[in-house]
Amino acid sequence: MVAPFFKLICVKSAVGARGNTPQLTRQGDTSTKQTTLSTRSHQTSKTMAQPTVTLYPLANYTFGAKEAQPEDDPSVTARLQRLQAEYEQQGMRHTVEGVLVVHEHGHPHVLMLQIANAFFKLPGDALKPGEDEIEGLKRRLDLRLAPASDGAAPDWEIGELLAVWWRPNFESHMYPYTPPHITKPKELKKVFLVHLPDKKLLSVPKNMKLLAVPLFELYENAQRYGPQLAALPHMLSRFNFVYEVNEGQ
């Protein structure tokens, strides 16, 4: 029997009052300039349309549990030591992660894993040397979130590339660029949007939690979630989200 296995973070946010924005005006006939700007804005809106993504309610999804998946590294230090050992044998590590988005009360929530009640991460992991990025991400999503293997092929729709992060040294910091003095970065991470169907069963390892974290909780909250997860609201702001609702809601 599949039991619900998730935790929804809800954080109240206070919106401060904003003052009136000063209007800068200049004497003279500005009607021609206004018309030109309006025309350009209209043309830009047609050529720079936001991609549309449909989000489904969190209640549409069923959450279950499966066998625990112990982490390879007990600490950040151990993870960096393993990265260095792998780098000496295989070169730069390639990592892929997926962003799964649902909505609750018309606001986007990102599904992410919490491990050992301590740190948060997106589903995904390092690729094997020469492994395809998309197929590799599908397999890792299956490993983390699919029910116990039934022999079926991975059923995930991998969408747009959201971000690329670089690890220049054997340190915890990653950057959305390669520093100019770095010629041999140690890790390359790509983050993709994963388009979810209207309903899906997600099974989580018993030693992990799957959280639905609202964007307003992530925004500028690097102290709790780290700079990569805190940047997700910026990455997702280019999409036009359509919020599907169930009948009767």
d(CA 170, CA 119): 19
Q: Are the beta carbons of 169 and 186 closer than 8 angstroms?
A: yes
Bridge partners (DSSP) listed for residue 52: 240
d(CA 55, CA 53): 6
pLDDT higher than 60, residue 190: yes
* Pairing label, strands 201-205, 93-104: unpaired
> Residues with Cβ < 8 Å from 169, sequence gap 6 or more?
182, 186
- CA–chain centroid gap for 109, Å, is 10
d(CA 102, CA 244): 10
Q: What is the pLDDT of residues 126-178, one digit of tens each?
A: 999 999 999 999 999 999 999 976 666 668 999 999 999 999 999 999 999 99
Which pLDDT does position 214 carry in this prediction?
A: 98
Q: What is the pLDDT of residues 5-42, one digit of tens each?
A: 444 444 434 333 334 433 433 344 445 445 555 555 55
d(CA 102, CA 246): 13
